[in-house]
Amino acid sequence: MEIASVEKLKGLQITPLEDEEEEEEQKAQEIAVDEDDDNDYDEDEEDEEEPVILGFVEKPDHSWSLLRQQFPSKAGGVPAWLDPDNLPSGRSCVCDLCGEPLQFLLQVYAPLVEKESSFHRTVFVFMCLSMNCLLRDQHEQWKRHHEKSSRSVKVYRCQLPRVNAFYSSEPPKGNKSDKPLAPGAPLCNWCGTWKGDKFCSNCKSARYCSQKHQAMHWGAGHKPQCQQLSLSSQLPDSNTCNGGTAAIKVASKSLWPEYEIKNEHESESETEMSEDDAQTNNSLVSKSGMDDSMKSLLDSFEGDCDRKSWASFQERIAKAPEQILRYCRSTKAKPLWPMSSGRPSKADLPKCHYCGSPLCFEFQILPQLLYYFGVKNDMNSLDWASIVVYTCEASCEGVGYKEEFAWVQLSSASPNLP
């Protein structure tokens, strides 16, 4: 990543948030979940739309370009933790429904340059690989008391001032000479995602985030390596949090493939598409493949309202069909919903449970990402219509990672689950 690209990313940020009227917020909290309330929140307005930034995935040009000191936006692989020491721990790392460790989905580097405390700012998204858990998650997200809900999709926000203990106050040079100021906490040798606060009792070298991953690593080949590792156990731990010189080495083969997320204004993308229609054969993803995916979603919708919403959604997405993310942090911004059903009302969105501020829309993740991850279109495969991320409007300060809120809209009605 060149210096110019970092500056460009900061330049893409939305202007400071506007405060909502207190009376409207109180009213929204008192309204019950019903069709009128949903329509009040999602009804299209005549005022000018907020500018949207689109995210596209590309294979990184260099192995070092997605290390944390480059402040990347990325999908798949392992997270490039912004704060490498104060990582989420305990129940924050696992699916609340099945107890399995969550897998890294993507992260978005989104600094708020108007605040010194958020000079660096990244939002991370993790999810369970089980579609059954995602279906059950649907029931949980409707709970008004969200502190009691159990989720299979979790979002964490981290921010740092320009002067901090982990990175230089100068912009990165955009080459492999960039180094962080500190190595960070050791990570799990199996997933490379969560803090490795447990270790192999024999070699005392391999580290794990959970007994589950320790058992999986043992069965996948750690057993014959254990003696060799025990002989070199006095060596420094090499699997630190993106220690600076190389990507983390992980044993798991089930992580999603790693991509860099490149940003582009939606208006620019529309212009380029009209000029470059003749070059669509060079696309990373075939148009026919994308169309088949979209048609399968359409077939699962029920009712005229859903079909009208889908037509509007498809018309907008078709202008840049390879987009996997739509970013627009603003109190006025709204997601581009694929369906009219399954949308949250204002009352369905919790307040920030750290500072009490309202949450605002920040970005949504589109199902096109699953294509790049190689997820098959099977009956029990992971799937969604949209994952919408809401974050604290004030982007409140604090050490480490603050949990934010995700609303998942599925492409089909979820079954009745206990």
Of 43-47, 267-271, 409-413, where does mean pLDDT reach its minimum? 43-47
Length of the chain: 418
Q: Which residues pair with 82 in a beta bridge?
A: none
Over residues 16-29, mean pLDDT: 45
Render 144-173 in DSSP notation, one character per residue: S-GGG---SEEEEEEEE-SS-SSS-SSPP-
Percent of the chain with pLDDT over 70: 74
pLDDT at residue 19, as a whole number: 43
Q: What is the mean pLDDT of residues 348-358?
A: 95
pLDDT digits (tens, 9 = 90+) for 379-391: 889 999 999 999 9
pLDDT digits (tens, 9 = 90+) for 147-172: 778 999 999 999 999 999 999 999 99
CA 41 and chain centroid, separation: 24
Provide the pLDDT confidence category of residue 219 given band limits of 50, 70 and 90.
confident
**What pLDDT, on the 0 to 100 scale, is given for residue 222?**
82
- Kindly state the DSSP code that residue 222 receives in the 8-state scheme: I
pLDDT band at 232 (very low <50, low <70, confident <90, very high): low
Could you tell me the pTM of the whole model?
A: 0.82
- 33 compared with 345, residue with greater pLDDT: 345
Q: Which residues of 93-127 are buried (b: 16+ CB within 10 A; e: fewer)?
A: bbbbbeebbbbbbbbbbbbbeeeeebbbbbbbbbb
The model's pLDDT over 278-302, given as tens digits with 9 standing for 90+, comes to 444 433 344 444 455 555 555 555 5
Residue 324: is it exposed, middle or buried by C-beta count within 10 angstroms (0-12/13-18/19+)?
Answer: buried
Residues 6+ apart with CB under 8 A from 354: 392, 396, 398, 402
Task: Write a three-state SS string for 95-150.
Answer: CCCCCCECEEEEEEECCCCCCHHHCEEEEEEEECCCHHHHHHHHHHHCCCCHHHCC
pLDDT at 298: 54
- Angstrom distance (rounded) from CA 166 to CA 182: 5
Using alpha carbons, list the distances in angstroms from residue 27 to 20, 40, 321, 362, 413: 12, 12, 38, 23, 29
